[in-house]
Structure 1
């Protein structure tokens, strides 16, 4: 009976069989499991020069396509350009506008674990097709809602789809670069993330150059043609998604041997149960091709990594800090159009939409520069993550000056405290011409946080399951954006109602003055300070990364 071909081994049996085979192979060549062998590889194991060049070309073409995807994914960051038109033409209140913004945040963040799982298990090319299914109907329906002045509930659904398309296309680019270029993971993450941050810059310029029309109010001013702009985004993002479905793939690095490859992708938490399982299952295979790992073993490793990640208390402290810093940043970006009109004097001749477009560009540029700078600092100042030979480890540490990535994260978060303090103190209300300082510092802090946070996740818990692990943490900014967005809207609408009860209000639910936003930004200052404390505890507190020997 046992030899019957009808009896197929179970998945557990395959794992055990594979584990035994790999254990025997590693035992037979134990020196390779510890340090690279000085002897040349067997001809059958070495990649041919032709294949090496082909793989290198494929990796760089995938990287180029990943940058195109990230440069195209950030259309949602133009939301502050639409808010004055939503208020003026379809008469949405600030609370309703923030509900639509929250829908986009929910689509962006709550779906990340699902999209991350698809990306890790089926590849970024499949996820690129998913982005098409979210972006195209989302933007077409949003255009229909605006043209026909549908209720905010309909627009809520449209931006829920747009948010899902944003994160799926963004994840395809980030994961492709992170898994194809593991030698410099800080830059491998910083460059696509920077491209994403830069996308609203060129999109806002294109919108203001090609998608404007005369105002519907008949006052001679010009405004965005929302219907045409949304239709353009639907067609353009369809093309980018199809391009990604062809080129966005993960290829093994021919310049990495099995020891380096395993060191680049394994979690640094030595106490992790999966750290032992990676070795036991033979994930440090004697080939650098991920296809050599049987699918059943790969799924088991990814599932074990996820369970270990979710059971780690330091992850929740770290994630709470991301919640408390990303939320204020998202709220500021979403409400910047209303905020500028609130700060701008009623007698000003400058259109609030023009001022908003300028500050959207400022945030895009400063966040892009901050992503690049923080990525470089993470690589060149952060503790090394690659395994070094034991004889050279002490010499390397003695020669190299290092700064913890957590300290870099705290430094950039502290920069975000400055603009929130300037707003809550009333200084910018008196000096509105300095609003560019606020948008610049928010852009710097926001961009750096969203570069350093996934980098720290990849360092502490490994890059192999990065899309899923970062996806879990990336859910939390949706809650943060919701909390701080609703806080801003509640204070704004309450003050607008009070002002419009008299004869001096602006009407249409609009608000002017410090009281419209002071309380919400005071809360943002406190939020960032608490986040810094939580990150310090995850790093240096009881059972933190420092106590467990994790060089982060």
Structure 2
């Protein structure tokens, strides 16, 4: 699509915009001084200084965004708490999953609201919001644990914690996505990878500094819930305050307005939103987001959202995210109970399994981080280019390409293989190889959550990314609820059967393959269905290929 507004004005050769003007200066003499075209003009010196300042401001914002993402994933330690909830608070597996689902609801259902705040008022304001969610959430959770309150009290505490998690997470990815638009795959992969790494260092800190003697007098160590929750409240208060100062959106000094509009406009050019983006870009004379009138920006973002919701392919894609994220979240939340289930009964009863669960939390963190970075790299360097009609050399045009949809399908396959292995009973016979399961799920889970927002930014543009991705990110909350309750229902049913006789183990514990086989068979089928839906949105009737969208 071309526009006369993007052409240089008549009679302009472009030199005057590069500081190559001739200046004649009279000083009471007959001589005139002509500035060399190569001499820097005062305006150029100011421009260079401004470019350098903007460069460092963007890098400082990016560094703070990584710190925020590295600190936002405390909720991913939930599997460390579940054995303690079960043993000390006597919560059933269904109640434990209900608390986990509360965190998922907070993380996903409020994303559109937080995304709207982030897009319209900036990530620094959202960082302040995260403080008012994390601090009361963790302090109230500590109070609930110390006083052995009913699970509904803990439910509302984790609802706040989940909301704080996604608000701080969104500040990081939005800051990076909007400050570094040239490599959008890596701009999303790096902060998302930092978020994936957060449970690694947090679990190690928890097992190193927040252990205490077990209350049952067995001489073993267990996690001190009160101290760790208090630590998170204070630490995340400090991180939220840091983000309120440094998480800003700055213009890219290396992009002119035409390039900027091309980077932020949606690729679905047949939509009314795309036409408005051209008109909007022509009306703005700089690439500084602060120069855009707030009323105009809000109107354009609202139009983007309406067109996004009316696109049928968005719902096919979102359904796939629902069907893959739900099983992944359920596995992570229930990993502590699952590890106890696959171990011999004598070992499970005599050990709190905290160290082993922390080890597998670390494995998931490392593998998901590697997968996030690797999938982001593949998206940028092997995925179809997204720049608006660039001029490429012959070697560039012959580079091997693979669709981002094929990438996300391949990585989702890793998760499906893990679920099939679990449902087959192989790990029940070889529990020492559980690291294979945690590694496969970490790889698939990390890559899917990196490629999904990347695909959203490629297909529908980056300008409204926080809101658009926030809408899709609501759906995993439903997936986590469905598959979390599926796991809990199968587990509790088998536990009730095992504990019905006089030789029952008590405490609602369950051991053996029948505690989880049907759950993971359903999760494997869910991943297969997700792959089909993604392929249909890509190549089906009215899909992106039919519209000419390179994804």
Q: TM-score per shorter chain, which class? A: over 0.9
The structural deviation recorded for 1:50 is: 1.1
Cα deviation for residue 397 of structure 1 reads: 5.9
CA distance in 2, matches of 1:545, 1:394: 26
Q: Is the 8 A contact 2:261 2:278 kept in 1?
A: no
Greater displacement, 80-89 / 339-348: 339-348
Rounded Cα–Cα distance in structure 1 between residues aligned with 2:385 and 2:6: 27
Would the aligned equivalents of 1:262 and 1:284 in 2 still touch at CA under 8 Å?
Answer: no
The 8 Å contact of residues 73 and 169 in structure 1, kept in 2 or not, is answered as: yes
**What per-residue deviation string (whole Å, max 9, x for no partner) do you get for residues 336-362 of structure 1?**
000000001123366421111110000
Q: Which residue of 2 aligns with 1:118?
A: 117
325-334 vs 291-300, greater mean Cα deviation: 291-300
Q: 1:144 to 1:39 in 2, by over 3 A?
A: same
Classify 1:267/1:420 alpha carbon distance in 2 versus 1 (closer, same or farther; 3 Å): same
Change (3 A) 1:407 1:172: same
Superposition map of 1:82-481 within 5 A: 82-282=81-281, 285-348=284-347, 351-389=352-390, 392=391, 395=394, 398-481=397-480
- Residues 32 and 259 of structure 1 are in contact (CA less than 8 Å); yes or no, is this contact kept in structure 2? no
Q: Deviations over 1:448-467 (max 9, x none)?
A: 00000000000000000000
Instruction: For 1:57-96, list aligned pairs within 5 A.
Output: 57-96=56-95
Distance across 1 between alignment mates of 2:13 and 2:395: 21
Give the deviation of 1:262 after TM superposition. 0.8
The 2-side partners of 1:503 and 1:497 are apart by 12
**Could you tell me whether the CA contact under 8 Å between 2:249 and 2:289 is conserved in 1?**
no
Report deviation, 1:505: 2.7
Partner Cα separation in structure 1 for residue 269 and residue 456 of structure 2: 15
Cα distance, 1:264 vs structure 2: 1.0
TM-score, length basis structure 2? 0.92
Q: Distance in 2 between matches of 1:282 and 1:371?
A: 32
What's 1:30 paired with?
A: 7
State the alpha-carbon separation in 2 of the partners of residues 446 and 379 from structure 1: 19
Indicate yes or no: 2:495 matched with 1:496. yes
Report the counterpart of residue 22 of structure 2 in structure 1: none
SS at match of 2:218: coil
> Matched residue of 2:222: which SS?
strand
| Structure number, greater radius of gyration | 2
Alignment partners' CA distance in 1, 2:302 and 2:5:
29
C-alpha RMSD over aligned residues:
1.9
SS in 1 for 2:328: helix
Question: CA offset at residue 167 of structure 1?
Answer: 0.1
Q: Distance in 2 between matches of 1:480 and 1:158?
A: 21
**Kindly tell me: are residues 67 and 29 of structure 1, through their superposed partners in 2, closer, same or farther at Cα, counting changes over 3 Å?**
closer
Deviation of 1:283 after TM superposition, in Å, equals 5.3
- Distance in 1 (alpha carbons) for counterparts of 2:436 and 2:150: 36
Number of positions where the alignment pairs a residue of Structure 1 with one of Structure 2: 524
CA drift of 1:292 comes to: 2.4
Q: CA 1:258 to 1:115, structure 2 compared with 1: closer, same or farther past 3 Å?
A: same
Give distance in 2, aligned partners of 1:180 and 1:32.
30
Report deviation, 1:284: 6.7
Give the direction of change, closer, same or farther, for the CA distance of 1:41–1:338 in structure 2 (3 Å limit): same
Name the residue aligned to 2:32: none
Q: Supply the distance in 1 between the matched residues of 2:396 and 2:162 (Cα, whole angstroms).
A: 43
Could you report, residue by residue, the CA deviation over 1:192-216 in whole angstroms, capped at 9, with x for unpaired residues? 0000000000000000000000001
The alpha-carbon deviation at position 506 of structure 1 amounts to 2.1
The separation in 1 between residues aligned to 2:282 and 2:246, in whole angstroms, is 26
Provide the C-alpha distance between the structure 1 equivalents of 2:372 and 2:13, rounded to a whole number of angstroms: 38
**1:302 partner SS:** helix
| Structure 1 unmatched ranges of 5 or more | 1-22
Question: Which of 30, 37, 41 pairs up with 2:17?
Answer: 41
For structure 2, the 5+ residue unaligned runs are 20-41
Q: Aligned residue for 2:517? A: 518
SS at match of 1:223: strand
Instruction: Give yes or no for contact 1:259–1:284 (8 Å, CA) kept in 2.
Output: no
Residue 134 (structure 1) shift: 0.2
